Amino acid sequence: MSGAPARLRTALLGSPLCVGLDPHPGELASWGLPDTPAGAREFSLRLLGAVGASGRCRVVKPQVALYERFGSRGFAVLEEVLAAAREAGLFAIADAKRGDIGSTMAGYASAWLSHESPLQADAVTVSPYLGFGSLAPVCEAVTEFDGMAFVLALTSNPSGPQVQHARTADGGSVAGTVVAEAAAANAVASAPRLGLVVGATVGGAARELGIGLADFAGPILTPGYGAQGASAEDLRALFGEAGAQGRLAVNSSRGISGLGPSDSALREGIVRAADDLAAALGVD
């Protein structure tokens, strides 16, 4: 294994914690920052600084929508944030959740993964719900640009089950099909460049749908830890040994940023969260 998959696995073996960069209006206000591009910039760069200084986290996930809401000025901030993450040696996952077909999807893939793009990230989140085949341009781009993509599979939003839990003609589920298709794509690649997005608060849904997440060979990005209600013990029950194997990226956004704006409080919170996850998931 080499390139982006190897870098991510190394980062996650050190700590499964992924810090979300979410410049939400409420978070900016709690830091005493204006709800402007400048406020989002200071919020994001200070969080990045705390992640780097902690020595206990190497993965970050900017939520694209919370920069995009400022238009071109917000995208300029996001470009700076992604460049700063690269400079700091952090693995950056652009949480864009793009999903389309044909040349449009190829455009999205290039925007978030191409080395020529100012928005280049190490990985991007994508939606397969126009059919898994719609992700073909992304599957090509992750190899061409040495990137990765995380495919929405089993999310914890209340209306997700309407689509994800729906049963297919063979008695399986739509979410199960997504997981199987991602696994099949990884099986014929030189490295597992497709990961999954699975909510940490889905409870027993994976088991009830017959989806064996512990057997998925690629990485899994799981939001919902901390402020959204999932504990480290919940993660162990849902994902088995994936955390100890460097395959689980556990996102915490408000659980970390809510400790700011104090730099020392942010660093200490990152260390506590990393230690909590390491103990529960069996990470050395």
Helix (H, G, I), strand (E, B) or coil at 239: helix
Q: 189: number of CA atoms within 13 Å, CB side?
A: 26
- Contact between 100 and 90 under an 8 Å Cβ cutoff? The reply is no
Burial call 153-178: b when 16+ CB within 10 Å, e when fewer: bbbbeeebbeebeeeeeeebbbbbbb
Give the tokens for residue 266: 């942010």
3-state helix, strand, coil in the chain (%, to 5): 50, 15, 35
Active site residue 61: no
Quickly tell me which residue has 């089993």 as its tokens. Answer: 154
Catalytic residue among 69, 86, 97, 165: 97
Q: Which two tokens stand for residue 156?
A: 């914890």
Strands (E), the chain: 17-21, 59-62, 91-98, 123-126, 148-154, 194-198, 220-222, 248-252
Residue 204 CA to its chain's centroid (Å)? 21
* Active site (catalytic) residues: 97
